[in-house]
Amino acid sequence: MKTVRFSDGTTVPALGMGSWNIGDSTAGKAEEIASLRAGLDRGLKVIDTAEMYGNGRSERLVGEAISNRRSDVFLVSKVLPSNATFNGTIQSCQASLKRLGTDHLDLYLLHWQGGVPLTETVEAFETLIEKGLIRRWGVSNFDTEDMQDLESVASDCTANQILYNLEARGVDYDLLARDRAAGIVTMAYSPLGQGGDLLTSPVLAEIAREHETAAGPATPAQIALAWTLRDANILSIPKAGTLRHLQENIAALSITLRDIDIARIDAHFPPPRRKTSLEMI
């Protein structure tokens, strides 16, 4: 299985499981839990959540899914910028741990940069590490200038979680290379885009017809996911809400895109020629 390596030497699978909008409906709860557990069974390991997702409902569902399986999980959650004061960060982390039913997070992220000085949030992160409540920290939705601001106050950020897919690839201009050079793992959220438009692309369909996976013929979604996984520094975290989608995501790991595939993708979804602001949802 493809892996990514954090700056402290920790290695995790390059494909993880996102939980945005998971836990919002009781009707889908059983399958969502089953999907997360099936992913762990297949070794995916990384589960990403946040206090914001469903006002804690996602964390509670993830907590149920990982009950008695904590050692199988690399667990990620996030603090809202409105809570990212020193005391607020400590309190938010403790509340997330309670909802998740665990005593520590493997990675804790600032969801996006707000009005609280980064020095204060970083101080809280370091305190949480000292207390053993988190193992490492990072950020989310930070553009190049944001990362420069962060670098001026701290040097031990381990991850930057950003929107990255074929329809949102402005970060290809400079941010991905900058974070890679700094030893910061890029976590790609919504790697399959939003609303399904990306997955109806004729180009992706054509490329899919030329590839096979361990589970059968490739799909446009698997090509789009394989495109994010082509970079050794990217940890891709598509939503894992159903067993069918989970299995499809896992099968994408067996796809190796050829140079001709990348060229066709670039022709249809061109890389940026100038700096553009980081997109986020």
Coil/strand/helix, residue 5: strand
Phi, psi of 165 (to 5 degrees): -160, 180
DSSP characters for 52-79?
A: TGGGGHHHHHHHHHTTT-GGG-EEEEEE
Query: Cβ of 46: how many Cβ atoms within 10 Å?
Result: 24
Any idea how long the chain is? 281
Known binding residue 211? Answer is: no
The pair of three-digit structure tokens given for residue 12, joined into one six-digit string: 């995790």
Tell how strand 3-5 and strand 74-79 pair up: unpaired
Note if 53 is an active site residue: yes
According to DSSP, residue 188 is labeled E
Active-site choice (53, 108, 164, 189): 53
Report the half-sphere exposure of 144 (CA within 13 A, side-chain side). Answer: 13
What is the rounded distance in angstroms from the CA atom of residue 197 to the CA atom of residue 150?
35
Contacts with 80 (C-beta within 8 Å, 6 or more apart), sequence order: 50, 51, 52, 92, 111, 114
State the binding site for substrate: 111
Q: Name the residues annotated as catalytic.
A: 53
